[in-house]
Amino acid sequence: MSREVVIILKRQKAILIGNILGDSHLEFNGHYGTRIQIKQCLRYKKYVWWLHNEYKNLCKSIPKQRKDNDQ
């Protein structure tokens, strides 16, 4: 199984560490790779989209709102 090499920028790494120390976490999902889950209430939607823009070279999808709560 081959792995894609991903370059993470210094700025992205700093933001990611801050997110993980806050209210986000990483999930490893076998051959699909790793994803970050960011839990924010709906009023912080702009912030989530700002994060997505910061990570856009690493993202394979856009942010999705959870259906089971207001996050």
pLDDT in tens, 37-70: 888 888 999 999 999 999 999 888 899 887 776 6
Rounded to whole angstroms, what are the CA distances from 54 to 11, 12, 19, 39, 49? 9, 7, 12, 17, 9
Residues 6+ apart with CB under 8 A from 19: 36, 38, 51
**Which pTM was predicted?**
0.80
Does position 2 have pLDDT exceeding 70, yes or no? no
